[in-house]
Structure 1
């Protein structure tokens, strides 16, 4: 079977499978009372948007560097490698590194998976983000797409279907996955919770539009036909909503003689609206791994400093995400020969763990005095130029190698013995 027939057969199976799955999911959502089209309005929830913003900007602000282990067991930046500028500066002609990785992180969270096509190789390599909703991941164990079983990515665009092998796509998935291949999005995990947040915000918006006027019961004696009742109700609502404010009528509702309005007051406090909304926000933030203070909730903040907050966010949330990025990029973009030579990609997390200037200088000074940094290495961390003679390790003159520790006392004891013996002989 040639590749065209294989693809046609795959498309037919894909469409039939997707159609049956879509019907089953819609029926399940309706049974659970969940709206199937929630995805289009999920960003209306402020907490969801805030969490997405925090993660996308956090990944986007981290510089991605290509490093190499040298012969001295140290690490140096491989700036001359053709992939350094690609990942660090501009993955493709239309996107900066910041916007590229922010977009990848957005897709990874919102859809559960993010895909980037690797076009070309070496100096001509470019990375292109594929819309996550248009990509299907297939494990071709039946050898429908090729003669060898492999993981394939089918991308549909413009009425055409494109096939990519596993080595042609950078695939970043969410931390929640059932098979280790495809991730599960946060909105699928918390569909009912996010839906409740959207509905609560819509209710609040509606109350604002109504001028916080509650529903009322119009009492009257006598009989009115339907047309008169509808007209009377329409006018009362117009007065209550402030629609006649341009005519100078804002706070008065005229009622005919023999009529009375009895409001059906529904107080937000009585229904614990604020508490419920806050709890929903914390649930959504927890699913993203976002700390409460990052969405404006400081009621239970117990961090000693801003540095402690950033360190907790890095360890608890970003470390897993960053490690996944580094492993996928290193494996897919570097050849086995380059990997064996010590090349590897690494995000510079110091930009989010950076302390204030006084703490930075104090820490670097101790690093230079302790033979950890050369003066020029410490100056580079402060974005200062290198100085002549600054490439040598300096430190406290009282420091000695560990293998010589204690020898000074042996020497002193020998000198004292010799000196004592001379005096006795004299």
Structure 2
């Protein structure tokens, strides 16, 4: 195979998550047993990936009469319902977005038939990106080909593909090709939060009893006497019941600070704020409601859509427009667009008021409004309606007088 004979010149390793955690006591370095055990980190990734996944990616078309949903396009059902036989569109995009937030980038293999038609999209894990900057694979179509080494599934076997045959979704990037994941900047915060939770777990497992030291108050120097005293203590100490009976001649002193003295709750809150701020997720989604009212929550939600989610939607649309749609499709006006209206589901009363206003002002046809409310089309509902008493300002300032026509009346 020609890829086996390539000399590596410029490689980018984008799968470096294993070197993030190396604690003294040794936390597990597998992906789901390290930073994913930190609830704030897991919650942020879950919120972002779920919001991205529940917004359908639609195929639309620019026409002379405006924009329309192109349900007849072969990609419509694949992107909206089933990218591959094994997962729904929600599972597919949730997997891609969760991987992008965790690793810094994510990818999907584009499978085509012999006619070039896209038949499936499969999530993959990028291992290495090889940029041919010396022209070993120079072709007429691509000046500097990029070869991607990836794994698919749990067998660990590596495969290769051309860069144009994968959808590559990047996170924060400085050079446009490599990405940096959020957890690298949050390493200290995540380490602290995980250590704090393990300490809290150990404290509760010990019955909220801190560590203590037992001191012998009497001065015994004879080794045999010390051994007898130790055996006596062992008989009186019950580790199972967490009961410590202090014999005469002993004193007990606690070693650990209390949670209140250590300001445990304050430190946990600071860690939550750092994590949610780094991901761009509003704090009220973490249960921190200080300074929030209904209006502030609405503004925070809009900011979350515009500042955090919109760039994710745009990257998915642009990557799909270039690699999934053909040049002929783009010339015919086809394009991909995320329907973000799914993020804002109003109650029935609010939705009805909005639709009435749109129909009365000639923005929406009556049948379009009826479909959104779950009603059948009306025979006269495909025309726009306008108020009869409205006219342009120019006609008010310069009225036009239309003379009445007189009809000649013939005598009987």
Structures share fold, TM-score greater than 0.5: yes
The structure where helix makes up a greater share of residues is 1
Structure 2: which 5+ residue stretches go unaligned? 405-412
Conserved 8 A contact 1:116-1:130:
yes
Q: Pick the aligned partner of 1:152 from 147, 150, 162.
A: 147
CA displacement 1:313-361 (0-9 Å, x = unmatched): 2112111111111111111100112112211111111111222221111
CA apart distance, 1:203:
0.9
Q: Distance in 2 between matches of 1:273 and 1:282?
A: 14
**Alpha-carbon distance in 1 for matches of 2:137, 2:205:** 55
Q: 1:124 to 1:113 in 2, by over 3 A?
A: closer
Q: Aligned-pair distance for 1:166? A: 1.9
Q: Which residue of the partner structure matches residue 419 of structure 1?
A: none
Pairing of 1:15-414 with structure 2 (within 5 A): 37=29, 40-72=33-65, 74-120=66-112, 125-132=119-126, 135-144=127-136, 148-156=143-151, 161-174=158-171, 176-220=172-216, 221=218, 222=220, 238-239=238-239, 243-244=240-241, 252-304=243-295, 307-400=298-391, 402=392, 405-406=395-396, 409-411=399-401
How far residue 6 of structure 1 moved from its aligned partner, in angstroms, is 2.2
1:247 is aligned to none
For 1:198 and 1:115, locate their aligned partners in 2 and report how far apart those are by CA, in whole Å: 29
Pair 1:65–1:151, CA change in 2 (3 A): same
Q: Take 2:234 and 2:148, find their aligned partners in 1: how far apart are those partners? A: 57
Relative to structure 1, is the Cα distance of residues 296 and 115 closer, same or farther in structure 2, using a 3 angstrom cutoff?
Answer: same
SS at match of 1:204: helix
The residue number in structure 1 matching 2:407 is none
Residue 278 of structure 1 deviates from its aligned partner by: 0.6
Q: Deviations over 1:156-175 (max 9, x none)?
A: 4657542211210000111x
* Range 99-108 or range 34-43, more displaced: 34-43
SS in 2 for 1:384: coil
The offset of 1:102, in angstroms, is: 0.5
CA contact (8 A) 2:53 2:89 kept: yes
Does the 8 Å contact 2:237/2:245 carry over to 1?
A: no
Q: Summarize deviations over 1:220-240 as a string: whole Å, max 9, x none.
A: 22356787787677677744x
The offset of 1:144, in angstroms, is 4.9
TM-fit CA distance, 1:217: 2.0
Would the alpha carbon gap of residues 230 and 320 (structure 1) be closer, same or farther in structure 2, given more than 3 Å must change? farther
Contact 1:62 1:351 in 2 (8 A): yes
Runs of 5+ consecutive residues of structure 1 not aligned to the other structure: 245-249, 416-426
Aligned residue pair count: 390
**CA distance in structure 2 between the partners assigned to 1:145 and 1:36 by the alignment:** 41
